[in-house]
Each structure stands twice: as structure tokens, then as C-alpha cells.
Structure 1
Amino acid sequence: MAETELTEVVDFLALHAPFDALPDRVRRDLAGRLTVRYHRRGSHLMTVGRDNDELMVIRSGAIETHDAEGRLVFRGAEGSACGSTTLVGRNPSRFDVVAIEDTLALHLPAEVFHELRREHEVFAEHFEGERTGLLRAAATAVATSRHGEPILRTSARDLAHRAPVTVGADAEIAQAARTMTDEGVSSLLVVEGERLVGILTDRDLRRRVLAAGVDPRQPVSDVMTSDPVVAPADASALELLLTMTEANVHHLPVVEGGAPVGVVTTTDLMRLERVSAVHIVGDVAKQTDVAGVVDFAARTPRLVQQLLEQDVSADDITRVVTSVGDAVERRLIALAHEDLAARGMGPAPRMCWMVLGSRARHEQALGSDQDHAVIIADDAPEGAEDYVAALAEQVVAGLEAAGHPRCPGDVMATNPRWHQRLSGWRAEFAQWLDEP
């Protein structure tokens, strides 16, 4: 690997357990002994009945682990590892590991893995625990029927499997980073007394501190996310899924009586769900064209079928469908903006795209028709309406391809009545109220 790539791998390892607990010199030496391999979506990293002699750490993408009967026992994303069951235990593999996205993995040879186990106790304990946990999950999958306890009703308290790791708001950023490294966590809760006031994540440290050149001696309150979205301890996993999808967050503090009791991550939810709204929404957000968005939107019926099999209520199912629909429409809007800019039609005016009808009520069903409108700022330049009309045509066509027919009543942003300036909307609403 080139020096820059080695540095990137060292930095990556420093963010993920148990490599974050290794000395810097060990991580740098380790980076030079790894190989990076690309695994196409659908390809096997491990196969039941075949020997495996490597540990694989996911650099980007996602994997699923299934037992010999095809039951899901684990889903992992960036920072997850596979292969320890054969390295700590014995060959051949008892699990299938499949890439569910195009995946980059760091491959660590067995001899290096065992060397690290001998020399670093924290490394050995981590993978012994991971192997035990995976085997326990497989045993649980065998013992539970397909129509057993609805896993989406697991509580937030159960998912927040460890006590929260916290610092005070006046702690230095450098101290917060050391605490995260020492504790092997990717997020840190910031408290004043027992009250949660913020959250700091690995991504925050990269974007708001390192990339921005912020002095690490500054207080953590300068770079944290203040008043973060939270979930009550008795919230179901389904409610957590919806909250994280709608807020577009990957770490969700769990609180009880106003005090934090832990953190739930998207990875925790992915371990519960083979087809999760969080995963679909994440996939949709990565798409670079309309065809890709449409492809992932087509997964929604399978998600609904799974929720029905788990006896999830109709209200909860329509909220999940709504969340996926929101993600699809947001991405189509963003792609339309990019296309218009490339064609020299920008810049976009100040505007707000509004969702109406069943999705606005969080009640969207499969195949619901489209209902939306646009508010254009009064100070937008002349011709803003033409831009919005062109934008709306692209979004409407994309939604139609994704399975949402055009509104029979033409309540869509392509209709001039439904893309007006703010003053026009005020007059429209006044008329509705005064002359219903």
C-alpha cells in the first residue's frame, strides 16, 4: 500500500475496537501486513463447510452472517469483523458470510491474528467474546421460530447493552477523544450533572475538529451536537428505527427520567433486521441516479411483508413506509437539483418542498399516489417558477417510476397552483378558510 493509504488504514483501525486499544506503533505495523480486497454485493466472504484462515474487517459496505440453516444471526457494517469463529475455534466454517453491499474488507492473515492475541489481552478477549456472542445468537435463531417474538418490539433498554460513556460539557475535546478510545465506543454522551446536553461521535471529531482545525483544548461543548434526538428506555426497536430514519442519525441516546441509560446505533438495529428501513434509507441516500433510487424503493414491499409476519400494527407499518418514501423523495429532489445545475438552470431559488396527503400524516401505503407542493420565497428572482416547474417534473417522473402514480386530482408541484410564492400561499390559505 502507498504511504497515504497506510495512514488512512491506521486512522481507520484507531476508530474501531479492538484495534483502537492497540498501541499506535502496533497499528502502523499491522496496516502494512493487511491486504485490501473488494467483494461485490452477493459474494461470499465465508462459506459453511469451508476452511477460513483470515480475519476480515469491513472498511466500507455491509455483510450478513447466516447459520447453516440460512437463519440470520448477525449483520455488520463499517468496523465489523468476521472470521474469528474459525480462527479462535476451528475449521470448517459454521457460518455463511455474504456481502449485502459492494464491500471493501481488510484481510488479516491467521498468523498475524494469533500473534496479536498472544501479545495483547484486550485483542484476545474481544474476539473470544465476539465468537461466543455469534454462537449464542445462532443458538437463539435455532430455538426461535420464524413467527416467534416480534424482534422489532425489543425495547431500547434491551438494545442499550452497556452503561453510557459520558463526559462533562466543559471537558476538553482531547480528553473526550481519549475517553472514546479507552472505552472502545464510537460516540460519547455529554452531560451536565445527570442531564444529557449533547452527543459527540467519531464523525464529529473528524469533521468538526480535525478537518476544521479546531484546537483540541477547546471544550467539547463547542463541537458536540447539542440537544440531540433521544428515545425513552421503553421505546420499541420499531420506534427507534423510525426515529433514526426520520432524523437521519446513526447514534440515538436512550434516556429514562431525563438521564441517559445508553446509546443505540444503527448497527444494533441492523442486527435485529434482515430488511430494515434504516438500511434501505441508507442505500437510497447513496444513489447517484434515479434508476438506483427506484431499485432500492422496490425493496419496500418485502419490508412490509416481513413486518406483517411479525404482527406489527398497521399504524407502525405505514409509518415505516412513510419514512422510506420520505428518503426516496428527498433523494429524487437532490438529484433533480444536480441535473438542473449541470444544465445551467441554477442557482435554485429559496424554496420549501412540502409533502401532503397520507405521507404527511405518516400513513403512506404501498403504491400511494403523489401529493406535494412547493413554497417559493417572495424574494426569489424572476423565473423561479420556471425552475420549480422543471424540478417538479423530474421528481414526479422519478416517483412514478418508483411506484407512486400521479395524483388524479393534480395536487402536485407540477401544477402552477401548487408551486406558489409565500404571499400567494397566504392568500390561498385565507381563501380556504374564508370561503370553504
Structure 2
Amino acid sequence: MIQSLLPNILEFIHNIDPFDKLPPELQMKIAGSVSISYLSRGEKIDFYPGDPKRYLYIIRTGVMEQRKPNGVLRAKLGPQDLFGFTFLDDHADGEESYSAIATESTLLYLIPHEALQKLLEEHPEYAEHFASQAQIRIQNALNVVWSDNDKGLFVKKVSEISTTFPAVVTSDMTIQEVAHEMRNVVRTSTAVIKNKGRIVGVITDRDLTKRVIAEGVSINNPISDVMTKSPLTVGPNDLVLTAASLMMQNNIRSLPVVSGHKVHGLITPFDMVQKNRVQAIFLIDTMKRTKTIEKLTELTSERQAIFEALVEGKVRSEIIGQVMAMIYDAYNRRILQIAEEKFGPAPCKYSWIVAGSHARNEIHISSDQDNALIIEDSATEEDLEYFKEMADFVCQSLAKCGFTLCSGNFMASNPKWMQKLSVWKKYYQGWITTPDHNTLLNASVFLETRSIYGEASFCDTLHQHLHKLISQNKNFLSILINDATSVSPPLGIFNNLVLEKGGENSNTLNIKKYAITLVVDLARIYGISVGCTSTNTEERFRFAHKKKVLSEDALKNIIGTYRFICQLRFTHQFEALRNGDEPNSNIDPQSFGSFERTHLKDAFRIISNLQDAARLKFSGA
């Protein structure tokens, strides 16, 4: 390299990820090793395992296309983009060969494999920035931007803060014996009751006061006469916020911490509130005591403040989604309770269900409404009129509280989505057995549902019906994969491809349409293929890995990618709120720096590769 060019090369790589993570002296070593190559339009570089001449390439000017051996586009690259990571690792395997073709005159900086390898051996703390595997680079990006340090209650598990242990007794013990165990032996306010090793009930000191002393029940009676049967419990690995929500929504003061039928401890409000004050808990508690819709709407700013605190506090994306869904649930339940107070008790059993991202617990600050009503089959026309009035009230009230009406009208206020259980079964029958474009749209919304109020068994019955239909109609999966992969990730995003045209979002990238939805669709397909009952995106991928239809590398790749693109959306929405703008999923690519550009390209390629794998695996299912 001509030494006079060194300052120019150093200045160029100084602000490019991942070189900007290196100290100045290492940047100088890298710049000093660079050679320069010029490609005319149509010239190409072939990459194949075992190539003795390996480089990491930086595009100085021009445009390159990476294409797989079958000619399929792998990525489209422009100035400041890097390629050649894969073949830097002597031990890398599983990556196919590809070619990089200049689509216009292109100037490249080449960093020799040997020089980079030597530098990283001397300074291993920087190795992950140059890892050959995309998932390692993406995970490293997540660690840089979104760490878990000092995030408090948002990332804590129940096992980390539960400090007390309940008495564990048997159902044939007398009330007096249990009270003695609680007071004199374990010194606790709660007892977990077992029968033949299985948890069958729970009792608290308050229960004993109300159910025994106040009612004059003999203390020689068995504890099974007064215990709370089929008690709510929480797992040791559940989020503390999940336990808080259960307590406040069900008006209980303690939760046994169990796995299977093993008792690990007890979690109480003292553990959560006194030791770990957090705004989300108080917001949910406030909603529970709020009497009017008008007062609920006044809490919208607090919901926004919690979202901003989560994003600014660098909490992981999946936890942000869970917390925001928990708050959404609390709004929805309280509005339903107010509706029942306004219109009177429901004339028959019903279940208010949520769908889509709300059902998956993957909510963000601008999530709209996806909800529906499942009504008991015995309902009369007069009953249906009650539910129509109630559903209109609930959906409009949610909108007043900041949960916008669904543009596709997938809401309980739409008579089509306010139906008896038998009608819902017929809907699913049609969607699964004779799918077309319109029915696939409906199915894509209601393939994930969750009951948040009312008769939860109706939703469970519908889930069982759905899984049975899918197992009997194998062709549905292949139709679903063809529809789900009809949109490709934006491999050429920084060359002004796949940008929105016209309107207020012109020349922006819809990160939901071209990335997040693609991953959600793939998770749905992989989950359905192995009979996964969870609706959560990450859990579906993990279950598919457990069933050996998704490799460990593919699992790490796609989960890392999903978290990264979700967090990009959260950051975009956070900045919009701070600027007084309406938060959405449309991001201006010009706002991305080298860091985002580099990792987005890795993410888009991972999504594209998994789409290809899914087509091969499921198209003929």
C-alpha cells in the first residue's frame, strides 16, 4: 500500500462498525495492512471453503451483489459495507459458497486474513466483533446496546426475590395441626396442602380467620374443608412482574413458588413492592381501583413513561413485550369490568380473547387492537345484542386509552368476530380445510389467541379444535409457508429497495412488514409443524429445536435476529415519543449508522436463509 493513502484509509474505517470498537493503535495496524482493489462492472470474487487467499472486504465506493451458487441474491452491499466474514474462520463449516459481483465500478479495501487473525489472537477481547458466524456478531451487538445490568425488577425471576417458605402439610391434617405448623414450626402466613404428593390447595392465616373462626368451624375438621382448592402458583423462572400481575388481578396476597409439585418458596407483595419498587406494578394496581373510563384515560401517560423507561433502561425486547402486554391486559380487564357494571351482568358465559401480537405477549407502544368474543352456544338473539353493545363500549374505551382501533376491523365490535363457540369452530374448519388468500388473512390473526377475561375454557376448546384440524389437514402447512414467504427481507435496503413509496412514510423501511412479521410467520410455521401449544415467537422456535426440526445454530441465529430488529423498532418508537411524533414501525434508513447497517444486513440474510430452509422442509408437507 502507498503510505500516502494511509491517512485516508484510517479516516474511512475509523467510523465503521466494528473497527470503531478498536482503540486507535489497532485501527492503525488494520489500516496499514490494507490493500486496494478496483473492480469493473460485472467482475466478481468467488468465495469457497478452503480458499488460501482470504480477506475481509470493505466497500469504499460502488455496489456489490452477493449471490448464491443457484443465482439467488444473498445481499446487496454499498459503501461502508463489509463482506467475507464467513471465510475468515479456519474452522467455520455449514456455509455455502457464494460470489460477490460488482454491479457498478467498485473500489475495495482488502484486509488480509493473516493480519486480522494475528491481531485478534493478540487482543481476543475484540474477536466477537469479527466473528464468522452472524449470530455471534448479532448477539455481540445486543450485548453492546442492551445489557441486563441494573435493570431491577424487569429482568428478575421469582426465585431471585422470594425470601420466605410456606408450611407444606397434607390434606388429612386437622385445621389445628396446620395452624400449629404455620405458627410454631415454620412461622409463615401460608400453608401449601398436598395429597399423595400433589398440590391440591393453599390456606393463609387470613383464610383461617374468615373461614374457621368467623364461621365457627371446628378446629378438628380436616384442613381440606376450608382450603382454597386448585390454587394459583408461579414458577421459579417466571418474571416477578408476572407474579405481581397474578396477585393484583386475583386479589391474593401470596403465591407459592412451585415447579411440578415441588414447593420452592413463597412470593409476597412485600418481596416485590417494598424491596423492588417499580412503576408498572403500581400502574396495574391503580387501574384495578379506577372507577371510570375517564380516569383510566388519564393513566395513558404513565403507560408511555413505563415504555420509555424500559427502552432507555436497555431492557431486553422480549421482556418489554411481556410488560407492555401485562399492562394492556390490565386495561382490557378493567374496562370489561366497568362494562359489566354499566350494562349489567352478562346474560350467559363468554370469553374475551385477544389475538395476534397481544396473544403472543409481544406488545409495543403503538400496538392496536386485535380482540374477539366467544359466546356460549345457548345465547339468544337478545343475549347477542347485550354483547354487541358491550363490545362497542370496550373497543371504543380501549381506543380512548391509547390502544388504537384495528384498521382491519379484527375486533369484538365487528359482529363477524363476536360469535358463539360453534360458529368459531366452523370458521376454523373453513380456514384450515379450504384456505384461500382472504381466509389465510383471517387465520393469520386468529391462529394465536388468548383468553384474558371470562370463561377461559372456551378459548382452550377452540385451541384443541384448531390443533386437531391442522393435524388432519397437512396441506394447510404448505399453503401457509407459501403465503408466509411471499415477502422477502430487504437484502438491498441501503440501495433504496423495498422502501415505502408515497404518503407520509415515503422512503422509509417498514420494519414490521419486512422483518418482524417474517420472523413471526416462520415461528408460527415451525411451531405448528411440531404441535407447539405456545403462541410466543421465541418459545415456538425453541420447541421446534427441541423436536429437532431446527438446528441449534439456526435457533441462535433467528432469536438473536428477532431481538435485534424488535429493539430497533423500540428505539425508533422511543425517539419518536421524545420528539413529540407518533410512534410507528417506519424507519428512515438514512438514520442508521454503520453499526445498524452492518447488523441489519446480517439479520436480513438470516431471515432469508430460514425462509429458504422452511420452503424446502414444509412446502411439500
In structure 2, which of residues 155, 158, 173 is the aligned counterpart of residue 171 of structure 1?
A: 173
TM-score for the superposition, normalised by structure 1: 0.58
Supply the distance in 2 between the matched residues of 1:424 and 1:205 (Cα, whole angstroms): 45
Once the 2 structures are TM-superposed, how far is the Cα of residue 308 of structure 1 from its aligned partner?
3.2
Equivalent position of 2:257 in the other structure: 254
Q: Amino acid of the residue matched to residue 358 of structure 1?
A: S
Equivalent position of 1:124 in the other structure: none
Instruction: Output aligned runs, 1:334-353, within 5 Å.
Output: 334-341=337-344, 348-353=347-352
Which SS does the other structure have where 2:256 is aligned? strand
In structure 1, which of residues 215, 218, 222 is the aligned counterpart of residue 221 of structure 2?
A: 218
Equivalent position of 1:156 in the other structure: 158
Q: 8 Å contact 1:232–1:255 — kept in the other structure?
A: yes
Which SS does the other structure have where 1:383 is aligned? helix
Which SS does the other structure have where 2:297 is aligned? helix
Once the 2 structures are TM-superposed, how far is the Cα of residue 220 of structure 1 from its aligned partner?
1.4
Once the 2 structures are TM-superposed, how far is the Cα of residue 149 of structure 1 from its aligned partner?
5.8
Equivalent position of 1:268 in the other structure: 271
Once the 2 structures are TM-superposed, how far is the Cα of residue 332 of structure 1 from its aligned partner?
0.7
- In structure 2, the CA distance between the partners of 1:290 and 1:149, relative to structure 1 (3 Å rule), is closer
Instruction: Output aligned runs, 1:31-180, within 5 Å.
Output: 148=150, 150-180=152-182
In structure 1, which of residues 285, 299, 304 is the aligned counterpart of residue 302 of structure 2?
A: 299
Q: Structure 1 stretch 297-306 or stretch 240-249: which is displaced more?
A: 240-249
Equivalent position of 1:398 in the other structure: 397
Higher helix share: 2
Q: 8 Å contact 1:229–1:247 — kept in the other structure?
A: no
Instruction: Output aligned runs, 1:297-336, within 5 Å.
Output: 297-336=300-339
- In structure 2, the CA distance between the partners of 1:425 and 1:302, relative to structure 1 (3 Å rule), is same
Q: 8 Å contact 2:372–2:412 — kept in the other structure?
A: yes
Q: Deviations over 1:333-384 (max 9, x none)?
A: 111111112xxxx652332211122111111222311111112222123312
Pairs aligned (count): 287
Once the 2 structures are TM-superposed, how far is the Cα of residue 415 of structure 1 from its aligned partner?
1.1
Q: 8 Å contact 1:244–1:250 — kept in the other structure?
A: yes
Equivalent position of 2:379 in the other structure: 380
Equivalent position of 1:419 in the other structure: 418
Q: 8 Å contact 2:398–2:404 — kept in the other structure?
A: yes
Which SS does the other structure have where 2:274 is aligned? helix
Q: 8 Å contact 2:168–2:193 — kept in the other structure?
A: yes
Please report the RMSD computed on the Cα atoms of aligned residues, expressed in angstroms: 3.0
Q: Amino acid of the residue matched to residue 167 of structure 2?
A: V
Supply the distance in 2 between the matched residues of 1:335 and 1:149 (Cα, whole angstroms): 34
Kindly indicate whether residue 200 of structure 2 is the aligned counterpart of residue 201 of structure 1: no
Supply the distance in 2 between the matched residues of 1:234 and 1:351 (Cα, whole angstroms): 32
TM-score for the superposition, normalised by structure 2: 0.42
Q: 8 Å contact 2:155–2:319 — kept in the other structure?
A: no
Once the 2 structures are TM-superposed, how far is the Cα of residue 399 of structure 1 from its aligned partner?
0.4
Larger radius of gyration: 2
Kindly indicate whether residue 281 of structure 2 is the aligned counterpart of residue 278 of structure 1: yes
In structure 1, which of residues 182, 185, 189 is the aligned counterpart of residue 192 of structure 2?
A: 189
Equivalent position of 2:530 in the other structure: none
Supply the distance in 2 between the matched residues of 1:376 and 1:239 (Cα, whole angstroms): 28
Equivalent position of 1:435 in the other structure: 434
Q: 8 Å contact 1:350–1:376 — kept in the other structure?
A: yes
Supply the distance in 1 between the matched residues of 2:362 and 2:149 (Cα, whole angstroms): 25
Q: 8 Å contact 1:155–1:236 — kept in the other structure?
A: yes
Q: 8 Å contact 1:270–1:276 — kept in the other structure?
A: no
Q: Amino acid of the residue matched to residue 152 of structure 2?
A: P
Q: Structure 1 stretch 392-401 or stretch 225-234: which is displaced more?
A: 225-234
Question: Which consecutive residues of structure 2, in runs of 5 or more, have no partner in the other structure?
Answer: 1-147, 436-621
Q: 8 Å contact 1:160–1:261 — kept in the other structure?
A: no
Supply the distance in 2 between the matched residues of 1:311 and 1:170 (Cα, whole angstroms): 50
- In structure 2, the CA distance between the partners of 1:212 and 1:283, relative to structure 1 (3 Å rule), is farther
Q: 8 Å contact 1:371–1:412 — kept in the other structure?
A: yes
Q: 8 Å contact 1:157–1:234 — kept in the other structure?
A: yes
Once the 2 structures are TM-superposed, how far is the Cα of residue 419 of structure 1 from its aligned partner?
0.9
Supply the distance in 2 between the matched residues of 1:289 and 1:149 (Cα, whole angstroms): 33
Q: 8 Å contact 1:354–1:374 — kept in the other structure?
A: yes
Supply the distance in 1 between the matched residues of 2:261 and 2:376 (Cα, whole angstroms): 39
Q: Amino acid of the residue matched to residue 417 of structure 1?
A: K
Supply the distance in 2 between the matched residues of 1:261 and 1:250 (Cα, whole angstroms): 17
Q: Deviations over 1:49-107 (max 9, x none)?
A: xxxxxxxxxxxxxxxxxxxxxxxxxxxxxxxxxxxxxxxxxxxxxxxxxxxxxxxxxxx
Q: Deviations over 1:214-264 (max 9, x none)?
A: 433221122223443434445553554466567764312224685323211
- In structure 2, the CA distance between the partners of 1:388 and 1:255, relative to structure 1 (3 Å rule), is closer
Which SS does the other structure have where 1:327 is aligned? helix
Which SS does the other structure have where 1:199 is aligned? strand
Once the 2 structures are TM-superposed, how far is the Cα of residue 198 of structure 1 from its aligned partner?
2.8
Once the 2 structures are TM-superposed, how far is the Cα of residue 323 of structure 1 from its aligned partner?
1.3
Q: 8 Å contact 2:165–2:188 — kept in the other structure?
A: no
Kindly indicate whether residue 364 of structure 2 is the aligned counterpart of residue 361 of structure 1: no
Once the 2 structures are TM-superposed, how far is the Cα of residue 416 of structure 1 from its aligned partner?
1.1
Which SS does the other structure have where 2:419 is aligned? strand
Higher strand share: 1
Kindly indicate whether residue 291 of structure 2 is the aligned counterpart of residue 288 of structure 1: yes
Q: Amino acid of the residue matched to residue 161 of structure 1?
A: T
Equivalent position of 2:129 in the other structure: none
Q: Deviations over 1:197-222 (max 9, x none)?
A: 43212443355445555433221122
Question: Which consecutive residues of structure 1, in runs of 5 or more, have no partner in the other structure?
Answer: 1-145
Which SS does the other structure have where 1:253 is aligned? strand
Supply the distance in 2 between the matched residues of 1:296 and 1:206 (Cα, whole angstroms): 36
Once the 2 structures are TM-superposed, how far is the Cα of residue 269 of structure 1 from its aligned partner?
1.0
Once the 2 structures are TM-superposed, how far is the Cα of residue 185 of structure 1 from its aligned partner?
3.2
Supply the distance in 1 between the matched residues of 2:380 and 2:355 (Cα, whole angstroms): 26
Supply the distance in 2 between the matched residues of 1:193 and 1:385 (Cα, whole angstroms): 46
Supply the distance in 2 between the matched residues of 1:291 and 1:270 (Cα, whole angstroms): 27
Q: 8 Å contact 1:231–1:240 — kept in the other structure?
A: yes
Once the 2 structures are TM-superposed, how far is the Cα of residue 194 of structure 1 from its aligned partner?
6.7
Which SS does the other structure have where 2:381 is aligned? coil
Supply the distance in 2 between the matched residues of 1:373 and 1:390 (Cα, whole angstroms): 14
Q: Percent identity?
A: 30
